[in-house]
């Protein structure tokens, strides 16, 4: 086993590993980018609108961007602007400026059309575009959901908003989030592939230290295992140890004690 490890050219192994990692990374980025293109575009537009609101952008320009977002997104079904409590702009006809909180819930509202709205923060909304609710839902939200299940309603929507610095203007987003078909599987597969490369990196690093310790006649089992379980910490400790041992074994010369024989002809 030691003879096999000692013959491995780890420079080539590392090059092959990095090439495969880059190729795999490009393929995954292209694949996921294609599958989540619409949602990534929504995230980009959402942040653009947030910046425009903070900078008090031209009203017509802001409205055009909101119309474009509503038209292009598969998740957002209505966008409204509320200024000083009044509805001044809307891309659809779903949102009603008369929402009331549903009794005994913390985040659910209803309107006069018997629709139900779940209030989310911007972060929750954007995360929910890629990951279903059940993976990050808190217990209090779970209790709210149980209450909602006993209520009859027409449609269920997600509602979130952003506001300007003065708090007198809100942009409200009404959504029905559609998860990408097999999206959960794609994300799990991507994570598994990345974990595989990470584990491969740990093993290669441990074997490199093992090989070097073997050649230097150190305790190669110890250093290999230490690096396997601590990774970069083990590498740093090993390099310090190696430097110390090499310095101790290096011959020292004392100029005063040299003996120089000069032969004279």
Q: Which sequence spans correspond to the domains of the chain?
A: 2-29+185-250, 37-179
205: tokens are: 């690093």
Would you state the pLDDT for residue 264?
Answer: 44
On the CB side of 106, how many CA atoms lie within 13 Å of its CA? Answer: 8
Would you state the pLDDT for residue 9?
Answer: 94
Buried/exposed code over 140-177 (b: 16+ C-beta within 10 A; e: otherwise): ebeebbeebeeeebeeebbbbbbebeeeebbbbbbbeb
Low-confidence stretches of the chain (pLDDT < 50) are: 253-265
Q: Are 65 and 81 in contact (CB under 8 A)?
A: no
Would you state the pLDDT for residue 154?
Answer: 86
Would you state the pLDDT for residue 96?
Answer: 83
Would you state the pLDDT for residue 65?
Answer: 93
Would you state the pLDDT for residue 157?
Answer: 93
What's the predicted TM-score (pTM) here?
Answer: 0.75
Would you state the pLDDT for residue 251?
Answer: 60
Would you state the pLDDT for residue 252?
Answer: 54
Sign, CA dihedral 56-60-63-64, equals negative
Surface-to-core class of residue 133, CB atoms within 10 Å of its CB (0-12 exposed, 13-18 middle, 19+ buried):
middle
Q: Are 115 and 153 in contact (CB under 8 A)?
A: yes
Listed in sequence order, the residues at least 6 apart from 243 whose beta carbon sits closer than 8 Å to its beta carbon are: none
In 3D space, the residue among 242, 199, 243, 207 whose CA is nearest the CA of residue 226 turns out to be 207
């Amino acid at each position: 086993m030691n003879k096999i490890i000692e013959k491995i050219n780890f420079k080539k192994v590392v090059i092959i590993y990095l090439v495969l990692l880059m190729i795999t990374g490009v393929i995954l980025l292209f694949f996921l980018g294609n599958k989540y293109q619409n949602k990534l575009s929504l995230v980009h537009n959402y942040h653009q609108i947030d910046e425009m609101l903070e900078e008090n952008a031209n009203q017509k320009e802001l409205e055009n961007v909101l119309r474009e977002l509503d038209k292009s997104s598969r998740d957002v079904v209505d966008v409204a602007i509320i200024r000083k409590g009044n509805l001044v702009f809307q891309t659809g006809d779903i949102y009603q400026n008369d929402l009331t909180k549903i009794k005994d819930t913390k985040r659910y509202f209803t309107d006069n059309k018997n629709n139900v709205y779940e209030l989310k923060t911007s972060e929750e909304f954007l995360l929910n575009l890629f990951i279903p609710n059940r993976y990050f839902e808190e217990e209090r939200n779970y209790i709210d959901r149980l209450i909602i299940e006993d209520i009859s309603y027409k449609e269920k929507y997600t509602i979130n908003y952003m506001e300007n610095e003065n708090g007198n203007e809100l942009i409200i987003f009404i959504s029905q989030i559609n998860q990408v078909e097999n999206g959960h599987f794609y994300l799990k597969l991507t994570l598994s592939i990345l974990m595989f490369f990470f584990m491969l990196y740990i093993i290669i690093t441990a074997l490199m230290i093992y090989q070097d310790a073997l050649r230097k006649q150190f305790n190669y089992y110890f250093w290999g295992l230490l690096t396997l379980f601590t990774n970069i910490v083990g590498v740093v400790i090993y390099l310090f140890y190696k430097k110390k041992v090499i310095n101790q074994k290096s011959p020292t010369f004392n100029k005063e004690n040299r003996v120089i024989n000069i032969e004279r002809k």
